[in-house]
Structure 1
């Protein structure tokens, strides 16, 4: 079998002899420009406004959190207590089911669903511990958090992140061993002109 592009033909043997960097460059050059996706200017504008929105959220949350820390009562009788926890557990069950299905079918949807499941498990552990009564309830909540919820959260968050890095390496976006936070979003027009260094 041979790879042909613009009158150039590479045999399987020639491809096998390419270095990792040469293969990455070949993959980048073979990626088509997508006519269906947004234009570069639109992507840059969306990125700018979303980043601005995130910064604004953080800035607003700082004084809001301080305000809550000062004004909230130490004890409060919550309404809809059962519906709150049952609803939360239903949401967690839906996300875990979606993660299981996406993982079983090997779909990229597993990345956000697994990450969301891990975050929900961390929230579950936090609120279980913080709302438990001293004594048996608190001990059970702490043990459940340490033995079940937090280890599962680590698996659900770290596993897909590691898999994303493997996919990025396999598709020539990054060098092997690149840290997850250095893996770029795979938009050819944004990264084709520069290689991502390994760090």
Structure 2
């Protein structure tokens, strides 16, 4: 793989993953104010794990580090778990919104994470 391809792929991935970390971080702050008190600390903790995974993946990608494949794959799995718990624990009137959010944001991002991990492996990042 040429250096310019790795640099371009890494810069784009860093933008996507670091942007995601900022967006989920802002969402997590909102959760602190509006999530049901009974589960607030669990959701905030899980979302902070997602933020950390996104930030680490973005940082590794920017450096062209092949370990970004591992963090992206782990992040894909965490995103799928997030979808499952978001939909299954949604309050009675909020499940449709949870499903829409899963289908438009969380599942596509999980697919991006998995595709990025496979792309890194296929291109042979070190």
- TM-score normalized by the length of structure 1: 0.42
Alpha-carbon contact 2:66-2:120 (below 8 Å) kept: no
User: Which structure has more strand as a fraction of its residues?
Assistant: 1
Aligned to 1:140: 97
User: Which structure has more helix as a fraction of its residues?
Assistant: 2
Runs of 4+ in 1 over 4 A off after TM superposition: none
Aligned to 1:154: 111
- Equivalent of residue 128 in structure 1, options 76, 86, 96: 86
- Equivalent of residue 165 in structure 1, options 100, 122, 125: 122
Cα distance in 2 between the residues matched to 1:125 and 1:107: 28
- Equivalent of residue 84 in structure 1, options 42, 48, 51: 42
Larger radius of gyration: 1
- Equivalent of residue 110 in structure 1, options 48, 68, 90: 68
- TM-score normalized by the length of structure 2: 0.65
Structure 1: tracts of 5 or more residues without a match: 1-78, 169-199
Alpha-carbon contact 2:87-2:99 (below 8 Å) kept: yes
Higher relative contact order (CA 8 A, sep 6+): 2
Give how far 1:159 is off. Answer: 1.7
Cα distance in 2 between the residues matched to 1:97 and 1:150: 19
